[in-house]
Amino acid sequence: MASLTVADALGTIDRELRDVTAALRQADPQPFESALRLLSDAERVFVHGAGRSGLALRSTAMRLMHLGLRVHVVGEVTTPAIRRGDVLLVASGSGTTGGIVQAARTAADVGARVLAISTTAEAPLSDIAETTLVIPAATKTDRSGTASAQYAGSLFEQAVAILGDALFHTLWQRSGRSADDLWPRHANLE
């Protein structure tokens, strides 16, 4: 068997991401519009995900902050209590990640709204969420290679980052603001 090259791996990742984004573009637009409303109407947005899903959502948090939304990352020492009027944006491929589901329950119990990103709408997380954006990708426990040739939940995590950028880009373009308008919020202590 020939050795796999980085170019081969990039080709696999590219094909899988194109398939996922094509499926998302053809999906019912209503959940995406609901997600945009939740984010734009929120007093504050809290993001929460475990592992690489959490890292992808941190990127989304940064872009939403650039847009002028008040954003907090769950687990940071400066993150305040969530309350009514806020939105909790969470990602869990399986929709069953214990800490994520419990955070969603807590948010809902205090009257905050929950926006979930998952591979399924048939899980405890989706039962709590007001809106679930479903990404057609493998969960981290799917090692069959059927939904993705990549390891664990890599395709889901990559798609979370891309979907987060798509949500940001849509909100930004609809706002009518220029890149120069957003730039003053970009980090300047780097």
Among the listed residues 76, 122, 157, 190, the single catalytic one is 157
Looking at residue 189, its pLDDT comes to 93
Would residue 134 count as lying in a domain?
yes
User: Nearest 5°: phi and psi at 133?
Assistant: -95, 115
Would residue 18 count as lying in a domain?
no
Pair 39, 87: CB distance under 8 Å: yes
Kind plus residue range of the DSSP H or E element containing 16 = helix 6-26
Edge-to-edge order in the sheet of strand 113-118: 71-73, 45-49, 87-91, 113-118, 131-134
Structural domain containing residue 136: 29-176
Would residue 140 count as lying in a domain?
yes
Q: What is the CATH number of the domain that holds 37?
A: 3.40.50.10490
Pair 105, 133: CB distance under 8 Å: no
Helix axes 6-26, 154-175, angle to 10 degrees: 50
Would residue 89 count as lying in a domain?
yes
Total domains in the fold of the chain: 1
Looking at residue 144, its pLDDT comes to 76
Q: Which positions ≥6 away from 113 have C-beta within 8 Å?
A: 38, 42, 86, 87, 88, 107, 130
Task: Please provide the DSSP assignment of 104-163 as one string.
Answer: HHHHHHTT-EEEEEES-SSSHHHHH-SEEEEP-S--TT--SSSS-SSSTTHHHHHHHHHH
Would residue 42 count as lying in a domain?
yes
76 is catalytic: no
Looking at residue 163, its pLDDT comes to 98
Would residue 188 count as lying in a domain?
no
Would residue 184 count as lying in a domain?
no
**Low-confidence spans in the chain with pLDDT less than 50:** none
Q: Are strands 131-134 and 71-73 parallel, antiparallel or unpaired?
A: unpaired
Would residue 185 count as lying in a domain?
no
pTM (two decimals): 0.95
Looking at residue 166, its pLDDT comes to 98
